[in-house]
Amino acid sequence: MLTIFSKPHKTGGFCDGLNRRDFLTIGGSVAGGLMLPDLLRAEAEQGRGTQHKAIINVYLPGGPPHQDMWDIKTEAPREIRGEFDPIHTNVPGIDICELFPRIARNADKFAFIRSLVDCDGGHDSYQCMTGRKKNMQQIGHWPMMGSWVSRFQGPTNRSMPPNVALMYATGESRWGDPYHGGFLGMGYNPFNLIAGRGNNAGANMTLNGVTMDRLNDRVGLMRSFDSLNREIDRAGTMDGIDSFQQQALGILTSSRLVDALDLSKEDPRVVARYGFNDPAFERDGAPRMVRNFCIARRLVEAGARVVTMNFSRWDWHGPDGKNFVESRRNMPLLDAGVSSLVEDLHVRGMLDDVSIVVWGEFGRTPRINNTEGRDHWPQLSAALLAGGGMRTGQVVGASDRMGGTAARRPVKFQEVFATLYRNIGLNPGSTRMFDLNGRPQYLVDQGTEPINELY
């Protein structure tokens, strides 16, 4: 997040009349914290990586219905099977829902996980961001995926934070939360490029009445910085702020990040393949900003290591949202966005270096309820993986005849995280940090391995 406010406030806030929001915020909306210098410090400590691998984490808020997407149950009764027919893909033996024709044509570039079993069960992005179930005793403890990567690999260049997000704030707040650096410190929070409930990526990049001349006026900027609390906290939020201030300003004045968000700089024929954005918010969910898939690719090209995004709303089991009606609205857009992203990465020779995961917080009941929806079902869900040098063109695991339990090869969230960490160049079994209590913490629980079928 990046916001510069220019108008003074006469009440509240600091003694000079500035409100606590009236300072440069980079990386997250946290009072009294400047996160960018910590990111740049990580670069200085770790050095630039010689190989740029990346992860794009696509979160589908609300619990997408796996039986109507990647795991059509043709042998089940109609009250379980649903309305959609399967279609063949370009991989013999793999069929998926008819609403995903483009993914079907690219199935050799995807791995379909049909047996994700350890969903937490709550409406929350937490498990898809951290790999862990939410423990109320440890709120704020576990770092999200991009924070680990940011800590150990640092930025690829000084103009692009390594950990960025395209997460819209949602009415159900947990669906719009990319989470944060946890015990690693606020300096590793994701740099969220979406402001509030606005419609466009890059809304947080607005310079609210501040000209570039004023931005480059170091004296004026220093006065704003001097308003901040300079006390070094335990998480190291303010550590080294002076040393990295000038580098922080470099991100503000560089065009790299702003250019990545500007689709007018993309070939319009490429953008058109993603389809058209629907900026209307889906009640308490996210809008259908399908072109954010293209922006995610552009952010990776500009140097981002981890991009996290949310897309639409997938909670359709009540009277306000019928599963099959909403599926026909949402799934073709997801098909266009994900397939275009994978195709673009492939054409550019980037697919082996960029891992993509598409998933939600849990699955849906086998039986269709009396409002034509499927209810919450943490016992089983599915995920879609692509890229990262993985052995794709396969299905991992299998559900039972009704799509309610794992019949073969149950997969856990942490196994997916271990796979993504391995793809980006981190050893999930040995990479560790000590938390604020001095205890060693690893990327995933000890003994958790990447999904071996993918290698």
Q: Compute the average pLDDT of residues 319-335.
A: 91
pLDDT single digits (tens) 389-442: 999 999 999 999 999 999 999 999 999 999 999 999 999 999 999 999 999 999
Highest mean pLDDT pick, 30-34, 247-251, 431-435? 431-435
| 267: Cβ contacts below 8 Å, ≥ 6 apart | none
Angle at which helix 413-424 crosses helix 145-153, to 10 degrees, equals 30
CATH 3.40.720.10 fits 51-187+272-454, yes or no: yes
pLDDT single digits (tens) 212-236: 555 455 445 554 545 444 444 444 4
Q: Is the pLDDT of residue 7 over 90?
A: no
Pairwise CA distance, residues 254 & 159, whole Å: 6
Count of other CB atoms within 10 angstroms of residue 140: 10
Pairwise CA distance, residues 120 & 362, whole Å: 8
Question: For residue 330, is it left (φ>0), alpha (ψ between -120 and 50) or beta?
Answer: alpha
Q: Is the pLDDT of residue 454 over 60?
A: yes
Pairwise CA distance, residues 123 & 175, whole Å: 7
pLDDT at 276: 95
Pairwise CA distance, residues 7 & 179, whole Å: 30
**Residue ranges per structural domain of the chain:** 51-187+272-454
Confidence of residue 14 (pLDDT cuts 50, 70, 90): very low
Q: Compute the average pLDDT of residues 266-271.
A: 96
Residues above pLDDT 90, as percent of the chain: 67
Q: The pTM is what?
A: 0.83
pLDDT at 255: 76
- 101, 335 in Cβ contact below 8 A? yes
Lowest mean pLDDT, pick from 140-144, 170-174, 196-200 = 196-200
Nearest Cα to 374, choosing from 118, 59, 63, 87?
A: 63
Sign of CA dihedral 279, 280, 285, 288: negative
Q: Is the pLDDT of residue 173 over 70?
A: yes
pLDDT single digits (tens) 66-89: 999 999 999 899 889 999 999 999
